[in-house]
């Protein structure tokens, strides 16, 4: 589904990714693990073309996308749920969702699955996004991403900063998006138990490169201690 081969990525003169090699199998969840500041978010941003420049090969379904501008990568089927959610606070829930549809090659609208996944959003479409709780804003960010009808979903720490009673609900929704809709998901996550429950494979990132990778059952406590312990 997605392959990065010998990818370097830069912010100005600063190199953030070094010879990154990652493969995300079609229809699976790939957990991207590692300490804060090691390049996990940059990996997602590089896939979407949001760093200053990158080198190497990025392929989606066998097509080279490295030279594409960000909007074309989005229209090729990549959606992004960023860290911090980035909801537009003065837009209504409806307008925030519909905004995601601008990256779709088809008609814009609220995805059919949204009422089932997020009934609160559907009951409050005219409320401003800025008045929602952190968990509700995360639901809205996911609904907005689904509006572009993606085949690949990039999620950056989707359970961070969310009230504990909503975390398990968000986790279950992510698993459902993969299993029911067949979405391939790159999941940047610090919650190792959730990564083990949701993902089929993992990649461990340190100093801007992949240092461990494999099927999720091969993720050992020693790897976690070496690459994630503070």
pLDDT band at 36 (very low <50, low <70, confident <90, very high): very high
Would residue 86 be called left, alpha or beta, if left means φ above 0 and alpha means ψ between -120 and 50 degrees? left
125 assigned to some structural domain: no
194 assigned to some structural domain: yes
pLDDT at 52: 96
Mean pLDDT (the chain, rounded): 94
pLDDT value at 76 more than 80? yes
CA distance 71 to 39: 22
Structurally, how many domains does the chain consist of?
Answer: 1
75 assigned to some structural domain: yes
pLDDT at 108: 79
Domain range for 59 is 2-85+152-228
| 92 DSSP assignment | B
pLDDT value at 105 more than 80? no
209 assigned to some structural domain: yes
CB distance 134 to 162 below 8 Å = yes
pLDDT value at 142 more than 80? yes
pLDDT tens sequence across 196-228: 999 999 999 999 999 999 999 999 999 999 999
pLDDT value at 137 more than 90? yes
pLDDT at 54: 97
178 assigned to some structural domain: yes
168 assigned to some structural domain: yes
40 assigned to some structural domain: yes
pLDDT band at 33 (very low <50, low <70, confident <90, very high): very high
Region 7-30: what's the mean pLDDT?
Answer: 97
CATH number at residue 209: 3.40.50.300
b/e string for 109-120 if b means 16 or more Cβ within 10 A? ebbeebeebbee
**Would you state the structure tokens that stand for residue 219, as one six-digit string?**
């993720």
127 assigned to some structural domain: no
pLDDT at 176: 95
Computed from CA positions of residues 124, 115, 184, 188, in that sequence, does the dihedral angle turn out positive or negative? positive
CA distances from 151 to 35, 36, 76, 159, 199 (A): 28, 27, 9, 21, 17
């Amino acid at each position: 589904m997605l392959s990065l081969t010998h990818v370097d990525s830069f912010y100005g003169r600063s190199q953030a990714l070094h010879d990154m090699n990652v493969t995300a199998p079609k229809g699976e969840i790939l957990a991207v693990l590692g300490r804060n500041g090691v390049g996990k978010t940059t990996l997602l941003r590089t896939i979407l073309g949001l760093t200053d420049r990158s080198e190497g090969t990025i392929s989606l379904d066998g097509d080279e996308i490295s030279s594409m501008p960000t909007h074309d990568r989005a229209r090729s089927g990549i959606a992004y749920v960023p860290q911090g959610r980035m909801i537009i606070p003065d837009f209504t829930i409806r307008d925030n969702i519909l905004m995601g549809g601008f990256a779709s090659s088809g008609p814009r609208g609220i995805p059919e699955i949204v009422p089932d996944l997020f009934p609160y959003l559907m009951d409050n479409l005219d409320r401003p996004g800025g008045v929602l709780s952190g968990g509700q804003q995360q639901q809205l960010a996911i609904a907005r991403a689904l509006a572009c009808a993606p085949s690949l979903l990039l999620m950056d720490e989707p359970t961070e900063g969310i009230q504990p009673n909503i975390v398990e609900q968000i986790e279950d929704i992510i698993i459902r998006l993969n299993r029911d809709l067949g979405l391939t998901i790159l999941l940047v996550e610090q919650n190792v138990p959730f990564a083990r429950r949701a993902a089929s494979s993992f990649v461990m990132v340190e100093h801007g490169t992949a240092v461990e990778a494999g099927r999720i059952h091969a993720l050992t406590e020693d790897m976690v201690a070496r690459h994630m312990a503070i």
